[in-house]
Structure 1
């Protein structure tokens, strides 16, 4: 089994947090979004995952090394591919064309999921979907009474289906998908100005592939500050029975309302923290009341009363109650 993770997007909706860190490396309950994603995919796979390919922009060598370590931690070989221009989902996937062979999973790194199933690798293809209220912003599927997908529609402006494609796909024949993706590029076939995977899937379906929808228990977005804080909250609920507070963390004269993640060498004094707070490595919190928030590494916070907040790395904050979204290296007094 191969996994391809397209993640070259700039994450503009999550600024200022993505000005210094690519969105897929933003931590959720102590682990980067992309690490959570690949761990969840590996967990539902029957087959051993041999290769994980990350399709990135110009993120720098440090990011590349972190991604390779994530693959290694899962017993797979990591690969880095670069997408120089944002030309659509089909183009992004094709950047990792050498991994488009045999059983292949493609998962876009701006979404997380929770599911209780084991992947059925005997299917020609599985397209994971979730019912949404407003499907206009998504690709959607329609399927027949036998559960076979009959149509893929990209961002329909008139209602055709409310089953949104969440950005995770399984293909039994990765080589077939690669050929159809290349066909789109070679013939400049675009939808809404970009090369779309849904057009390749339509071609495969027309040539006999039978795709079925897969459903997940929960689809978690990481597109902007509010939904990322919510995703952090939901993940803490999912893993609340695991050890979430590092042994090296120092907590004094404080109340921790679980579930809370507290990273290595973090210090919490004279504060109430939780529920649903993630505190990064080396972060120091004093005289504060914080719930439902995500605070990253090497940050110093004093006198904060906050909820629904996201605070970056190397922040220094000394202030008053607010709903915050503060990027890296900010100083506020």
Structure 2
């Protein structure tokens, strides 16, 4: 029996994802029609050995309660799903250690750890095979190749070419180490808690000779799985890499959501999970439309478009490479491209809402990953070219042009904007 843990952080994280995370927790942001971490749960449900999924973070219970209930109802025949709330940020390993008894309950053979902001075609079954083949493995790390320049933005590992044992690990090095990078997905033996306890003893309010008397103090130090534990295990023969060529990316910025949406739609299409077009409208490429959304037959959607629950798309609307969230309304003959339209936002007739594709991997560079560009240019402070984002309940009057701009929630625009943040 196996378990899985999804680490989602808390409301103080994900600042680069604003304004989208102002009204919905980032882990629940819809990508390709599903909350982000439901893609993780879907991947877990495909591995028969996984019987329970634990979501760990410090979001209030009320923020996750409905989602957990929905997931429990949907996957009741395959998975038990629970949310465990940290009282504060404990770090990626600190959260695991704090809830170690819940993770070890039922004596699982091993457990997956998945970062909540990772988007991927998760090869979990292959990781199980790799982990089982290594007798002394405490942790198996999903790894992928990146370009030489991009690798320094991730955790880099040097491995034995024959055994894939991790010989050296550095998190976001200042100089080049390796093009093999950490994907933020791990398969761990329960004995790993003994290693984490070495670091936990320095964060205890009470000196302890064993892990069971561990208690966080008010001035605790966070314990990081990557910088602390994994770096410590490198070179010991207890940590291994599981390289993959599957699609993988991180979701750090709003622009990354458009990129992830594109790939998750393709994966859903390959598995035959995209809903059938019954509304008579025209689609190009991969398109997801929630069953409760209303799309006029003359609308043209796609490629790579997701339409949320209760959304209304009027006559003659054209949408491309965009995410339209719940209850948004787009009036007749408007154009939306490379944009995210927030929950309950309203776009008037004959509007043009358009962003710029940003950070997409260079197709001419093997193993190139998406560049997670900052919102502002570090040299001159100007807004970098980006997708256009309309926050929750934004109102765009008819015949407005909105290019490469970000509109915070509950704003009513009175004119057109280009390359601006509307506060």
What range describes the TM-score normalised by the shorter chain of this pair?
0.7 to 0.9
Alignment partner, residue 108 of structure 1 = 115
Shift of residue 30, structure 1, vs aligned partner: 1.6
Equivalent positions of 1:117-266 (< 5 A) are 118-121=125-128, 122-123=132-133, 124=137, 125-132=139-146, 133-146=149-162, 147-171=164-188, 173-174=189-190, 176-188=191-203, 194-198=222-226, 199-203=228-232, 208-240=237-269, 242-243=274-275, 244-252=288-296, 253-266=298-311
Shift of residue 105, structure 1, vs aligned partner: 0.3
1:294–1:310 contact (8 Å) kept in structure 2: yes
2:290–2:309 contact (8 Å) kept in structure 1: yes
Secondary structure in structure 1 of the residue aligned to 2:71: helix
**Higher share of residues assigned strand:** 1
Shift of residue 114, structure 1, vs aligned partner: 1.9
Secondary structure in structure 2 of the residue aligned to 1:7: strand
Alignment partner, residue 320 of structure 2 = 275
Alignment partner, residue 89 of structure 1 = 92
Secondary structure in structure 2 of the residue aligned to 1:223: coil
Alignment partner, residue 45 of structure 2 = 42
The one of 309, 325, 329 aligned to 2:406: 325
> If the length of structure 2 is used for normalisation, what is the TM-score?
0.69
The answer to whether structure 1 residue 285 and structure 2 residue 330 are counterparts is yes
Q: CA RMSD in A?
A: 2.7
2:59–2:85 contact (8 Å) kept in structure 1: yes
Equivalent positions of 1:286-325 (< 5 A) are 286=331, 287-302=333-348, 303-307=351-355, 308-318=387-397, 319-325=400-406
Equivalenced residues, count: 326
1:55–1:95 contact (8 Å) kept in structure 2: no
User: 2:245 & 2:68 partners in 1: Cα distance?
Assistant: 25
Shift of residue 216, structure 1, vs aligned partner: 4.3
Higher gyration radius (CA): 2
> If the length of structure 1 is used for normalisation, what is the TM-score?
0.86
Unaligned runs of 5+ in 1: none
1:128–1:216 contact (8 Å) kept in structure 2: no
1:51–1:99 contact (8 Å) kept in structure 2: no
1:261–1:277 contact (8 Å) kept in structure 2: yes
User: 1:70 & 1:235 partners in 2: Cα distance?
Assistant: 19
**Structure with more contact order per residue of length (Cα contacts < 8 Å, sep ≥ 6):** 1
